[in-house]
């Protein structure tokens, strides 16, 4: 049997399916916590489970966003670039919910106490700084923003994501008091992702004709 030829219109459906699949998968952690609250299955301290879980997912999405470019350069996978913006926005979304959960469940919107906490506990200070770095990135994630800023300026601004990654891991390290294994795992992952970028840039610098 002759293989069916696919028209360009059919090919264009593929990114759409990929994006739909990634969107649904990315929303699942939220569904998991909503279900957990409903079913009372989040353990003895559900508030801590929610705040920590949302923070972990924010970091997971941040690292996934940072993985798209190295995957293109080293594995020649271009599909992660199609979902990079969505992953970045999910990182911001989960970070916002993480912040909301802290403001609401931890602090009951007691603003003087929140301000005191930001100055008193370094891991909260670093968490806030990370969130503030993510804000302009999320706000300039549209095609319109890229056009208005111009690609070179937009790219320069979006380099803040590296600093956000470093600060997010530092926030995790500072929060943990005893078992450092998980934050260490994230630190190794982040170092690998940033290291691969550095290797690629060095390589490009030596052979400027490569894309």
* Alpha carbon distance 145, 147 (integer Å): 5
- Which residue's structure tokens are 């601004």? 157
The least CB distance from residue 123 to ligand HEM, in Å, is 7
* Alpha carbon distance 61, 89 (integer Å): 9
The verdict on 56 binding ligand HEM (CB under 6 A) reads yes
Total of residues contacting ligand HEM (CB under 6 A): 22
Binding mask 98-117 for ligand HEM (x = CB under 6 A): xx--x---x-----------
- At residue 184's C-alpha, the angle toward residues 53 and 78, to 5°, is 75
Q: Torsion angle, CA of 72/78/80/83, rounded to 10 degrees?
A: 140
> Judged by CB under 6 A, which of 26, 33, 51, 193 binds ligand HEM?
51
The least CB distance from residue 182 to ligand HEM, in Å, is 7
The least CB distance from residue 203 to ligand HEM, in Å, is 29
The verdict on 52 binding ligand HEM (CB under 6 A) reads yes
- At residue 8's C-alpha, the angle toward residues 146 and 89, to 5°, is 30
* Alpha carbon distance 71, 78 (integer Å): 8
The least CB distance from residue 153 to ligand HEM, in Å, is 24
Question: CB under 6 A: which stretch of 18-26, 27-35, 44-52, 188-196 binds ligand HEM?
Answer: 44-52
Question: CB under 6 A: which stretch of 24-32, 49-57, 64-72, 199-207 binds ligand HEM?
Answer: 49-57
Considering only CA atoms, which of 118, 140, 142 is closest in space to residue 130? 118
| DSSP E strand boundaries for the chain | none
The least CB distance from residue 125 to ligand HEM, in Å, is 9
């Amino acid at each position: 049997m002759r293989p069916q030829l696919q028209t360009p219109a059919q090919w264009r459906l593929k990114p759409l399916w990929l994006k739909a699949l990634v969107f649904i998968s990315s929303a699942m952690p939220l569904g998991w916590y909503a279900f957990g609250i409903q079913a009372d299955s989040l353990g003895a301290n559900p508030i801590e489970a929610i705040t920590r879980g949302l923070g972990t997912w924010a970091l997971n999405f941040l690292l996934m966003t940072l993985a798209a470019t190295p995957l293109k350069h080293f594995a020649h996978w271009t599909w992660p670039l199609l979902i990079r913006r969505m992953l970045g926005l999910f990182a911001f979304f989960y970070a916002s919910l993480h912040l909301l959960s802290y403001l609401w469940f931890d602090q009951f919107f007691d603003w003087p106490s929140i301000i005191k906490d930001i100055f008193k506990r370094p891991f909260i200070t670093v968490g806030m700084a990370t969130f503030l770095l993510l804000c302009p990135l999320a706000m300039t994630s549209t095609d319109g923003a890229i056009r208005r800023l111009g690609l070179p300026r937009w790219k320069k601004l979006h380099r803040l994501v590296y600093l956000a990654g470093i600060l997010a891991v530092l926030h995790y390290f500072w929060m943990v008091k005893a078992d450092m294994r998980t934050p260490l795992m994230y630190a190794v992952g982040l170092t690998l992702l940033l290291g691969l970028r550095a290797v690629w840039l060095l390589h490009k610098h030596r052979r400027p004709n490569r894309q």
